[in-house]
Amino acid sequence: MSGGLLLVAGDLIVRYGRVLKVLGIKDKKVAFAPRFSTQKNGSLTYMIPVKNIAGSNYRRVVSKDKLKNLFGSILTKPMPAEEPGTIAVKSSLGGNSLTETFTVIKTLWSEKKSKAGVLAGGKLSLYQLALEQAVEEVAAVKGIVLDKAKLLIMDALKSKQANQRQAQE
């Protein structure tokens, strides 16, 4: 397969935060289906030419070790002094990087907590999208259901907040 991403049936890949399972490769086309069937995706199965994989922002799901490091480094490290603008957040989510997605979640979650649980409409939508994207990949890597993956992320954020309070005291 061109572009350095060699795929075989059963591989889990990510495109814009959505985890896809490779169903097979036939006639120079790759068949995909969402790893998690939701009302939003309707279990849509689709095919794309192998030659389009290289330039299409697909990547493999992160490893368990990388995920563990991300939970430790991104979700528990201190917040940056400046809040990123909406455009910066949108571009981070479009980059198809779990690291950037976790950073967006943490930033917007912290902003939400500092503003009595309220985010402006656009930022709330971005927060929900980032969380949705991260939840899918965490669930795929850990082999758990989406709800449990969301709880893991939220628990990490809450423990970060508790650790920061203890450090301030």
18-26/29-34 β-pairing: antiparallel
Which CATH class name applies to 64-168?
A: mainly alpha
Residue 79, pLDDT score: 59
Residue range(s) occupied by CATH 2.40.10 in the chain: 2-60
Which residue ranges does the chain devote to CATH 1.20.58.1290? 64-168
C-alpha Rg value of the chain to the nearest Å: 17
Per residue of the chain (169 residues), what is the pLDDT tens digit?
A: 445 678 899 999 998 888 999 999 998 899 999 998 776 666 788 898 888 887 778 899 999 999 999 888 776 666 555 555 655 666 667 778 898 888 888 888 888 888 777 888 788 888 898 999 999 999 999 999 999 999 999 998 887 654 544 444 4
> How many Cβ atoms sit within 10 Å of the Cβ of residue 53?
21
